[in-house]
Amino acid sequence: MIKADIRTGLGAFRQRLKRGFLDWSLRRSPRLKQLTLSQRRIYILPSRAGFFFLLLLLVMLLLAINYQNNLMFAVTFLLGSLFIVAILHTYANLSGIGIHFLRAHACFAGEQVAFDLMLSASGTRQYESIQLRLAEGEGCAVDLLEDRQFSLSLYQPAECRGLLRAAPMLIETFYPLGLFRAWTWIQVDLQGVVYPRPVAGGSLPDLTGSGSGEQTLARSAEHSGAEEFAGLEQYQPGMSLKRVAWKNYARGQGMYAKHFVELSDNQRWLSWQFWPELEQEARLSRLTWWALQLHRRGEKYGLLLPGIEISPDRGEMHRLQVLEALACFGLEAASDSGSAEQHS
């Protein structure tokens, strides 16, 4: 029991120490779009293998002193020199790398946001086994050998809708011998949009009625004023002579009139007033699903939220506008009220 308590206490102390060092490191690293790693940003310490190597050197040195063995002295000092040289090579494997943060990709809640960045090598130096990861995501390893630039994406889980700022990025290396760890934490100046998770369900009202503003639940058959030729019909007395198909009459085919139909553009509205029995997040998820369905069908659709109205349209830009409105709905007001409470 006592050993378990000691182990738990040491683990908690180690976590607090790591967190304190991370906070101190991030305060020294403002959010930037691009940067080049230098001695002011790179930290280096022996790795776990490096500490065992130091312990081994100490044991070998004590044995050499005790037995006065010149060969053991030579091996100890040779390995010690190798240990010192490894410091320079491990540091040089990070120094001079340029990092450019490019863009963030949108995703749905429950997926992962992708953050694109590009690494560039300095001069003719080669970099091997560079490991990168976000604090809340999985990592990857890259080499900068023949290719002087390397583009990659890092992923971060997105649990909730809204704007997700990239977590701090860790870049580290143990190259060449694994005796030292050189690393740094970088604040990424990117944020991605997390859309509500689409959940199927419900049905849209029929295209009937023609309200306006937030009173509208569905709009239909908004006439554009344009007409399209639909065919010929038997001429009836009283019809306009402009509609007579004179070419057919000249061929002796009889008196016919051209029939036109007025084009109509069916437009659907996605309204906050639909499905009042659902909670806010469930309602946003359902509106998201229907927005995706209408986009796939190629229909025109608009969005009505409290304080937000997006006119009916179609296309990729319209889809992104609607999804972003759903993603950020209600979050700005919550953040403003939170900041006001902090100031008070």
Question: Lowest mean pLDDT: which of 33-37, 82-86, 109-113, 257-261?
Answer: 257-261
The predicted structure's pLDDT at residue 90: 95
- Which spans in the chain are helix H? 2-27, 48-67, 70-92, 246-250, 280-297, 316-328, 331-343
User: Among 55-64, 81-90, 269-278, where is mean pLDDT lowest?
Assistant: 269-278
pLDDT winner (highest mean) among 19-23, 72-76, 332-336: 72-76
Residues 6 or more apart whose CB falls under 8 angstroms from that of 124 comprise none
Task: Flag whether pLDDT at 221 surpasses 80.
Answer: no
**Res 336: pLDDT:** 46
* Structure confidence by residue, pLDDT tens digits, 268-311: 899 998 888 999 999 999 999 999 999 998 888 999 999 899 99
* 35-49, 229-243, 325-339, range with greatest mean pLDDT: 35-49
Read off the pLDDT of each residue in 231-254 and give the average, rounded to a whole number: 77
Whole-angstrom distance, CA of residue 170 vs CA of residue 220: 54
User: What pLDDT score was predicted for residue 338?
Assistant: 46
CA–CA dist 337, 228 (Å, integer): 54
pLDDT > 70 in the chain, percent: 80
Locate the domains of the chain by residue range.
Answer: 27-194, 196-221+266-330, 225-265
- Would you state the pLDDT for residue 229? 61
Q: Which residues of 262-289 are buried (b: 16+ CB within 10 A; e: fewer)?
A: eeeeebbbbbbebeeebeeeebbbbbbb
- Give percent of the chain with pLDDT exceeding 90: 51
Question: What is the C-alpha separation between 281 and 19, in angstroms, rounded?
Answer: 33
Report the residue count for the chain: 344
> Which range in 43-52, 203-212, 229-238 is most confidently predicted, on average pLDDT?
43-52
Measured on CA atoms in the order 28, 33, 39, 45, is the torsion positive or negative? positive
Closest CA to 204 of 217, 214, 213, 221: 217
Strand bridging mode 43-46 / 180-186:
antiparallel
The residues, any chain, with a CB within 8 Å of residue 301's CB and separated by 6 or more, are 267, 268, 269, 270, 291, 294, 295, 312, 313, 314, 322
Q: Identity (one letter) of the amino acid at 149?
A: Q
Residue 108 vs residue 244, higher pLDDT: 108
Buried b / exposed e across 209-230, counting CB within 10 Å, b at 16+?
eeeeebebbbbbeeeeeeeeee
What per-residue confidence (pLDDT) applies to 147? 83
pLDDT at 260: 64
pTM of this prediction? Answer: 0.72
Q: How many CB atoms lie within 10 A of CB 103?
A: 11
Instruction: Note the pLDDT of residue 342.
Output: 44
**How high does pLDDT run on average in the chain?**
82
> pLDDT tens across 119-174, in order?
999 888 899 999 999 987 888 999 998 888 999 999 999 999 999 999 999 999 99
The pLDDT value recorded for residue 250 is 80
Residue 68 in this model has a pLDDT that exceeds 50: yes
The region of weakest confidence among 63-72, 166-175, 216-225, 232-241 is 216-225
Q: What is the mean pLDDT of residues 62-83?
A: 93
Write down the pLDDT at residue 228.
54
- In this predicted model, which residue has the larger pLDDT, 20 or 344? 20
pLDDT of residue 341 exceeding 50, the answer is no
- Report pLDDT for 281: 93
The larger pLDDT score, comparing residue 74 to residue 9, is at: 74
Range with the lowest mean pLDDT among 45-54, 137-146, 181-190, 334-343?
334-343
Token pair recorded at residue 230: 């639909």
Whether 42 has a pLDDT exceeding 70, the answer reads: yes
Contact 144, 132 (CB under 8 A): no
